[in-house]
Amino acid sequence: DQQVKQNSPSLSVQEGRISILNCDYTNSMFDYFLWYKKYPAEGPTFLISISSIKDKNEDGRFTVFLNKSAKHLSLHIVPSQPGDSAVYFCAARDDYKLSFGAGTTVTVRA
């Protein structure tokens, strides 16, 4: 029973353009949502989070939007840079446990 879903396995974007990654969830008890970034042969690293009581959080080039009624969140990266090429995981917290989506591989083209 997958509670967090990332339906796009991959995304290709030109350098300088916006990357938009999407995530859907089913559990209404999730209170925090996080995005993690993962390079090959490394562990996931935290990127940005948002509380369930907020609808937007911005940190530099990264903005996360939360639509609770639709149980949907998105990550916007603008402008996209070559170093952003990685796998991005959406995660959601229920008490102490994080549930992860399957990830979206982002490739930024020069």
Partner 1 sequence: GAGVSQTPSNKVTEKGKYVELRCDPISGHTALYWYRQSLGQGPEFLIYFQGTGAADDSGLPNDRFFAVRPEGSVSTLKIQRTERGDSAVYLCASSTSGGPGHTGELFFGEGSRLTVL
Chain positions contacting partner 1, by CB under 8 A: 4, 6, 9, 32, 34, 36, 41-46, 49, 51, 89, 91, 93, 95-103
Instruction: Enumerate residues 6+ apart whose C-beta is below 8 A from 20.
Output: 11, 74, 75, 76, 77
In the complex with partner 1, the residue whose CB is nearer, 26 or 45, is: 45
User: What gap in Å lies between CA 104 and CA 37, rounded to an integer?
Assistant: 10
Q: What are phi and psi of 66, to 5 degrees?
A: -120, 130
Nearer to partner 1, 97 or 110 (CB): 97
Q: Min. distance of Cβ 13 from partner 1 in angstroms? A: 21
Smaller CB distance to partner 1: residue 34 or 108?
34
User: CB of residue 28 vs partner 1: minimum separation in angstroms?
Assistant: 16
Taking the complex as a whole, how short is the minimal distance between the CB of residue 48 and partner 1, in angstroms?
10
Query: 10 Å Cβ neighbour count for 91?
Result: 21
